Amino acid sequence: MVTSIFGPVNVGAIEDRGLGLITEIHLNNENDELAALLTIPRELILSAAGIEEYARESKDFRQLLDVAGHQSLRSDILLFLLTQLVLSSPDYKGGQGAVTAWTQYVKLLPTKVPVPTMWSEHELSLLRGTSLESAVSAKLATLAKEFSHIRDTISDLPQWTALVEADEITLRDWILLDALYRSRSLALPRSGEAMVPCLDLVNHSSPATAYFEESSEDEVLLLLRKDANVLKSNEITIDYGHDKSAAEMLFSYGFIDPVSTAKSILLPVEPMADDPLAKAKLYAFGSAPTLKITDNENGVPKWDAPFIYLMCLNDEDGLHFRVLQENDGSQDLRMFWQDTDITREAGTIETLIKGHELCQVFRLRAATVALQMIQQQVEILRKNSAPTGHERSHVVLAALKLRAIEKDLLERALEVLEQENNRLLEDKSVTSYLSAMNDTQGDNIDEEDFT
């Protein structure tokens, strides 16, 4: 046991959970005065400050960071881990950076992480129809693009180019490092997103028995929760996020919390193919459009999809786009609703339409689109996606669990939307609008026949 880091705990194997942290004594925190179970010094914490500090110490890493980094904190941390992966290789010949404590720690990290981005093709087919199908596909495409960017930008760094050309650094390595980062990173109160060695061995449970915080000296401390009682040889746990959905837990950590009551689904929304304003709407919206379905305590799901409302509005309703000339000569696309500039309020369009006389008509359009989306998703989920025998057992269990959770939530959301559509169809403003539309169509037919 390393006394400079570990308190009355040590690393041990946990059945069906890999490694974890086990107490060597009976722990009871009735008075909230127990010493830290872990104390990780600042110099071991991999955060934005740690990346910058290593870049000052290592000219080779600074060069790599300058040409391929500075995209995000995540990408910089992954470049640091890539450097340590090279340094820890038994074939390392020098020229990629200075050895650190992380060089040794990387050797101890697993080469297989149970997150879906590391599943096989057979295993990924089990996600068909779930919210993770498109999410994992998009993530893998992003990782491939990131690695391609690295490969293209290091052309002036011969030592790194040689490693890529010799397949000593591959896309598979980048996918592994991303999986390690997603499954082990933490949001620290002071330092922000970071990786913390040893603390990343602590498994999840809800409720948890411990929590972490930062000290005034920027150390990370693992502390027992008040009133927690952990018997000797039992596991210490923290909460990875009890409010995360099954899909979020599986995507980031490779498992689904069996006791979590948080249920939600996030589905991508595609604009209507025949909408001439589709590109303008996407640009004005500014982010990837989604349909979110969230369960509540009463078991009645709610749906939220601002872009679907935007999809259902057009010029004749009062939605307009204009290209404005800025003072510096640049042009900017602006979005207007009833002649009011709402470019920065695209995500609140459902609120903005409330005062319109056709508000319920707009709601009906949006609810109908959402209903059709969910119907299609349920139909795909209902199709048999049985294991072929080529999948790992823990993957099969996780995928089938996710399918069951999402199928149940989608089917209940379907019932809610059907009821909502029926209520809207009985609204006076809706019936009047539909009647007027039918009359107009009838007049057009008569005119065509007469002609």
**Count of CB atoms within 10 A of residue 336's CB?**
14
Measured CA to CA, the distance from residue 424 to residue 371 in angstroms comes to 13
Residues 53-67 as b/e (b if ≥16 CB within 10 A, e otherwise) read ebbeebebbbbbbeb
Average pLDDT for 263-277: 93
Residue closest to 238 by CA, chosen among 208, 212, 194, 259 = 208
pLDDT at 33 over 70: no
| Half-sphere exposure (Cβ direction) of 303: Cα atoms closer than 13 Å | 28
Measured CA to CA, the distance from residue 2 to residue 12 in angstroms comes to 14
Q: Is the pTM of this model over 0.85?
A: yes
Sign of the Cα torsion 382, 124, 242, 303 reads negative
88-110 confidence digits (pLDDT tens):
988 777 666 678 899 999 999 99
Predicted confidence at residue 97, as pLDDT, reads 67
Is-contact 399 126, C-beta < 8 A? yes
Indicate the residue type of 422: N
- Domain boundary assignment for the chain: 9-44+196-246, 48-185, 263-441
Predicted confidence at residue 171, as pLDDT, reads 97
Average pLDDT for 354-383: 95
Q: What is the DSSP letter of 209?
A: S
Predicted confidence at residue 3, as pLDDT, reads 39
Phi, psi of 388 (to 5 degrees): -95, -10
Measured CA to CA, the distance from residue 390 to residue 367 in angstroms comes to 40
Strand-pairing partners, residue 18, are 14
Predicted confidence at residue 242, as pLDDT, reads 83
CATH of region 9-44+196-246: 2.170.270.10
41-87 confidence digits (pLDDT tens):
999 999 999 999 999 999 999 999 999 999 999 999 999 999 999 99
Measured CA to CA, the distance from residue 311 to residue 372 in angstroms comes to 14
Q: Where are the alpha helices (DSSP H) in 130-209?
A: 131-153, 158-165, 171-184
How far, in whole angstroms, is CA 278 from its chain's centroid? 25
Chosen CATH of 48-185 out of 3.40.50.300, 3.40.50.1820, 3.30.450.20, 3.90.1410.10: 3.90.1410.10
pLDDT at 415 over 80: yes
- Alpha-carbon Rg for the chain, nearest whole angstrom, is 27
Q: Do domains 9-44+196-246 and 48-185 have the same CATH topology?
A: no
Residue 251 CB burial class (10 angstroms; 0-12, 13-18, ≥19): buried
Measured CA to CA, the distance from residue 36 to residue 8 in angstroms comes to 9
At 28, is the secondary structure helix, strand, or coil? strand
pLDDT at 448 over 70: no
288-317 confidence digits (pLDDT tens):
999 999 998 888 999 999 999 999 999 999
Average pLDDT for 9-13: 87
